[in-house]
Chain A
Amino acid sequence: MGIVQALFPPGLFTSSFMQNAWLAGTAVAVLSALIGFFVVLRGASFAAHAVPRASFAGAAGAVLVGGDTLLGLAIFSALSAFGIASLASRRDQGQTTALVLMAALGLGSLFLTLGGAYAPEVYALLFGQIVGISRVDVYAILGLLFLALLATALLYRPLLWSSVAPDVAEAKGVSRRRMETLFLLLVALAATAAVPVVGALLSFSLMVGPAAAAAYFGRSPLQALAIAVLIGVLSIWFSLIFAYDTGLPVGFFVAAVTAIFYGLGRLWAWLWQIERSIGPEAA
């Protein structure tokens, strides 16, 4: 009984801020795993890391002008997605991703200095917080999840094709450039939802970790997608419980738990001598 009580102390499910955290966290995990599936498929972890990180500048800008943080996150993640998509040529996406990220972070440091932002507010946005999620945030995040589900349902086939066999997709009339832009906008959508909960530094863990682990377990793309969502949801639930128990930042637990799942995936693949079912080299 002792352990159970220590793991599930009173208020974990009943206090209103934790209810918001459970709702928002679960929605964010589903959304991130969904988009993360395509991130791993396309080998786009850098973009998945850069977009949420760049959106931090938007939050800092919102603090400076007294605007809405979520709106600032949305504007800057969309801008950075467009920036990466429009600057990148096929051969140098990493460079342009790095430069777009630098531009955003440079602006972010300027906004922080000019705004004289209160430090705990900055830390919360960097490392994630579970106490600060309001009911309005929950509705906004659920709205973003709905949008992402709709977009993925509509774009699933062309996105899958352009990810695993871009040349074939191009021949079938699926524009590589347009798909890249749409994909990055989906990453921006996931980032906007995830940053308030998990933090700007570790939002990409929820995108890359579950999908990278699922690549070892799933035997087909759809199976891998479903397993990624499952792992993502489990990861955020574990993380919320641990964060509530210990008072430590939720981002740390998300990074640790998703890394453990990835390690299990590699172990599984090693035991059964299997290759990843999705990812650039499986194509």
Chain B
Amino acid sequence: MLAFLASLLAAPAVGTALLIGSFVAVTSGVVGVFVVLRGQSFAGHALGDIGTTGAAAAYLGGLPALYGFIGVGILGGLAIEGMGERARGRDVATGIVLSLLLGIGALLLYVMTQRSDATGGPVAILFGSIFTVDPSVAVPVALFSLLAFLLLGFLYRPLVFASVSPQAAKARGVPLQGVGLLFMLALAIAVEESALVAGALLSTALLIGPAAAAVRWTRQIGQAAALSALLGLLAVWLGIALAYQSYFWPPGHRGWPVSFFIVMAVLLEYLIARIRPARRAARAAEPGEAA
């Protein structure tokens, strides 16, 4: 066991993956609690998908993928927030924005597959692996995480109020639209950096899974955010360790995908939280989904 841990930490790709994966898990875990409370799971997932369009555009334009992810993610987030007429109208608005941007993404990815110099690009963007992350993105990822946390800190009180009881918040003069837009910005940053690092698939899993599990354990938002970050970290570390180990599994030293392990760890956390009788925790999850 110790020998395995030592060999795990000695591999440079694993060190980078652990470091950047931890940033992403914490940021997504904390932002995710608000996503779950506000019932914005669909928007959170859509932003991950939308980012791949930006990444493909950046790739074709010779720009760093990070800026493609973040730029289009923010635009998409603002479009979703701006087009949804009322809370429930957001469902269709999110669907249409996602549909159009995914369509453009399909076109760009197709163009990439036709170019001989970029054949590996689409796979990297769609199924990005945490093991192939360029260590140099660690600094911008950390900075964007910081930005997301600053936004959340700035918004904390009105955001909690607006998320838990929007009507009362409105009556007290909380600018719901402004809070919604700024939160969407923090959400876009959190989702896009994890989509860059781990692929669109994992960005949704890390955003929704740990948070959905955490709000079933505690009704206190600060505690839920801390627990959610912890659950996210646990899933990422466990996933990376298992994926590293899986190179020795059948069939033939190809390795199992790390995203598979992380997703399964997240699901396990959620199912364990669900089995537990949810008495007090029930109220925390109450505002729930619009869908």
Contact = CB atoms under 8 A, between A and B. Distances in A.
Interface of A: 40, 43-49, 90-95, 97-99, 101-103, 105-107, 109-110, 112-114, 116, 119-120, 123, 126-128, 199, 201-202, 204-205, 208-209, 212, 215, 248-249, 251-256, 258-259, 262, 279-281
17 contacts: A91-B287, A92-B288, A94-B39, A94-B290, A94-B291, A95-B41, A98-B204, A99-B212, A102-B266, A106-B267, A109-B127, A114-B251, A114-B254, A127-B106, A128-B106, A204-B99, A255-B106
Contacts of A262: 96
A98 B263 contact: no
A258 B107 CA distance: 15
B95 A48 contact: yes
Contact of A255 (B46, B89, B103, B260): B103
Contact of B106 (A105, A251, A258, A281): A251
B158 interface: no
B107 A45 contact: no
B208 A199 contact: no
Q: Which 9 A-B pairs have the closest CB atoms?
A: A255-B103, A91-B288, A45-B95, A94-B41, A106-B263, A94-B289, A46-B42, A205-B99, A252-B107
B188 interface: no
B14 to A, nearest CB: 18
Contacts of B122: 123
B91 A44 contact: yes
A128 B98 CA distance: 17
Contacts of B104: 252, 255-256
A258 B110 contact: no
Residue from B88, B91, B99, B105 having most chain A Cβ neighbours under 10 A: B99
Contacts of A114: 251, 254, 256
Interface of B: 36, 39-42, 44-46, 49, 85-86, 88-89, 91-92, 94-96, 98-100, 102-107, 109-110, 113, 119, 122-123, 126-127, 201, 204-205, 208-209, 212, 251, 254-257, 259-260, 262-264, 266-267, 270, 285-291
B123 A119 contact: yes
Given A43-B88, A256-B103, 15 more contacts: A45-B95, A45-B291, A92-B289, A95-B208, A97-B41, A98-B204, A99-B209, A101-B204, A110-B256, A113-B254, A113-B255, A202-B99, A205-B99, A209-B96, A256-B104
A243 to B, nearest CB: 11
Contacts of B264: 103, 106
B129 to A, nearest CB: 9
Main secondary structure of the interface of B (DSSP, over half): helix
Given A109-B259, A110-B256, A254-B103, A94 B89 contact: no
Contacts of B251: 114
Contacts of B127: 109, 112
Nearest to B211: A95
Contact of B92 (A98, A119, A212, A255): A212
Nearest to B91: A43
A43 B41 contact: no
A259 B106 contact: no
Nearest to B40: A94
Contacts of B209: 99, 102
Given A46-B41, A262-B96, A113 B91 contact: no
A126 B89 contact: no
Nearest to B89: A281
Nearest to B52: A201
B286 A91 contact: yes
B88 to A, nearest CB: 4
A27 B160 CA distance: 47
A255 B99 contact: yes
Given A98-B41, A127-B109, A46 B291 contact: yes
A110 B123 contact: no
A56 B113 CA distance: 20
